[in-house]
């Protein structure tokens, strides 16, 4: 359907409920509570091949901490500690290090398992970690040339409806509807507004813009947006580079139209420039200098080429 849909080049093994097992053995019952009601949490994490040929997971602990925070928000008891989940992730990659020598996408997921049904049920939590080979989420061409985005007719849920600090499985139906609408209309990605009409985020990414005065803006965490780990990374990289004109503020959709640059950030999408929003060309219609700087620096960091950020990498 789009450049973001692809066949999973799967791993030989997964980690499920404390054990490494063959991919095809990682099954759950059709009566799994989360399948019916969406009560689960997940993370998207990337491991990269570093410049010296090793394999390193980017900001692994931050992702696992967010997974545990998400579970806490929805009162889902995870029977593993942060250290145990970190080690399980590393073990999974170590088991198939040769298969993922060039990198991998990792998906920890925790969800309510089978047992009782109904909204008030409390069943044992299942926890799994999978890995697969997943390239640029919005396409290699999108990374290089930028993508086309559409402001969605679907609104990002209100903060009293959507637990915005949590990466919660059932909440992504909102994103799926927005994404499908955009793709069917011929665009690459959707941008969702909040209930007040301000820009929130894309269907699976945070959003940045650079205005004509060179001010870099991104919606604040008081908006209904995920506290993105890539978003946080980009803010730190820009501030460390001496960019003082960075604002976490509400943004209108027409501010996107007249911006010099717009780009998305996310673990799957990495740093993806936006060349067009709602048929309005952004800037000169190609990735701008800030977007390219962020891209270049980000990829140097995840590949272990920036020593000052070495603590963000967990080597396998």
pLDDT digits (tens, 9 = 90+) for 46-81: 999 999 999 999 999 999 999 999 999 999 999 999
Confidence grade of residue 4 (pLDDT, cut at 50, 70, 90): low
Q: Is 167 a catalytic residue?
A: yes
Question: All domains of the chain, ordered by start, with CATH?
Answer: 9-133 (3.30.470.10), 140-302 (3.20.10.10)
CB neighbourhood size of 233 (10 A) = 23
pTM above 0.75, yes or no: yes
Round the average pLDDT of the chain to a whole number and report it. 95
Q: Tokens 């969406």 sit at which residue?
A: 38
Of the listed 19, 95, 97, 167, which one is catalytic? 167
CA proximity to 304, closest of 54, 114, 110, 100 = 54
**Contact residues for 200 (Cβ-Cβ < 8 A; gap 6+):** 156, 192, 193, 194, 219, 223, 224, 225
Res 2: pLDDT: 42
pLDDT at 21 over 70: yes
């Amino acid at each position: 359907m789009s450049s973001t849909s692809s066949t999973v080049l799967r791993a030989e093994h997964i980690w499920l409920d404390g054990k490494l097992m063959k991919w095809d053995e990682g099954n759950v019952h059709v009566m799994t509570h989360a399948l019916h009601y969406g009560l689960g949490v997940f993370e998207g994490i990337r491991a990269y091949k570093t410049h010296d040929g090793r394999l390193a997971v980017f900001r692994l602990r931050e992702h696992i901490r967010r997974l545990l925070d998400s579970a806490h928000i929805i009162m889902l008891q995870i029977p593993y500690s942060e250290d145990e989940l970190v080690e399980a992730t590393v073990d999974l990659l170590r088991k198939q290090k040769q298969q993922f020598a060039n990198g991998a996408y990792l998906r920890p997921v925790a969800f309510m398992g089978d047992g009782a049904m109904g909204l008030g049920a409390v069943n044992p939590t299942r926890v799994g970690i999978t890995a697969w080979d997943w390239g640029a989420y919005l396409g290699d061409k999108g990374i290089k040339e930028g993508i086309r985005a559409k402001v969605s007719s679907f609104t990002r849920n209100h903060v009293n409806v959507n637990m915005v600090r949590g990466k919660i499985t059932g909440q992504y139906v909102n994103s799926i509807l927005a994404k499908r609408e955009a793709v069917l209309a011929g665009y690459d990605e959707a941008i969702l507004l909040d209930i007040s009409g301000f820009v929130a985020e894309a269907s699976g990414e945070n959003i940045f813009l650079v205005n004509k005065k060179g001010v870099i803006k991104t919606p604040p965490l008081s908006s209904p947006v995920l506290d993105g780990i890539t978003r946080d990374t980009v803010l730190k990289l820009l501030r460390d580079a001496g960019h003082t004109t960075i604002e976490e503020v509400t943004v209108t959709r027409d501010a996107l139209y007249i911006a010099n640059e717009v780009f998305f950030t996310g673990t799957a999408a990495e740093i993806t420039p936006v060349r067009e929003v709602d048929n309005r060309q952004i800037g000169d219609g190609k990735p701008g200098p800030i977007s390219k700087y962020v891209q270049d620096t980000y990829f140097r960091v995840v590949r272990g080429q920036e020593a000052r950020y070495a603590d963000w990498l967990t080597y396998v």
